[in-house]
């Protein structure tokens, strides 16, 4: 209620990994993986969803694998209520 200027740890992590890339989702396929999420760096094992990161400046398309939290964040703008707790 007082201050909402500080980015959440989740948003800070996404900004660190994704930067200004625009995220688009492909076929919606997903698979279980223990690899780090390309968007937030989470190493929690779970579903990874195929997506592309698009650099609007260069036109580069970078394949990404996103965790569930990032899927919802990039698709719907929903932030995970709890994130980063080991």
CB 42 within 8 A of CB 18: no
Site string for Zn ion, 14-53 (x = CB under 5 A): -----------------------x-xx-x-----------
Minimum CB separation of residue 57 from Zn ion in Å reads 23
**How is residue 46 written in tokens?**
């779970």
Minimum CB separation of residue 37 from Zn ion in Å reads 3
Instruction: Give 47's contacts (C-beta < 8 A, 6+ positions apart).
Output: 30, 31, 32, 33, 67, 68
Counting contacts by CB under 5 A, is residue 70 touching Zn ion?
yes
Q: Which residues bind Zn ion (CB under 5 A)?
A: 37, 39-40, 42, 67, 70
């Amino acid at each position: 209620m007082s201050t909402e200027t500080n980015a959440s740890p989740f948003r800070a992590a996404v900004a660190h990994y994704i930067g200004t890339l625009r995220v688009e989702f492909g076929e919606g396929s997903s698979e279980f993986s223990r690899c780090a999420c390309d968007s937030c760096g989470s190493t929690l094992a779970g579903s990874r969803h195929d997506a592309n990161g698009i650099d609007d400046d260069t036109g580069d398309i970078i394949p990404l694998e996103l965790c569930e939290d990032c899927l919802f964040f990039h698709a719907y703008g929903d932030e995970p209520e709890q994130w980063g707790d080991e």
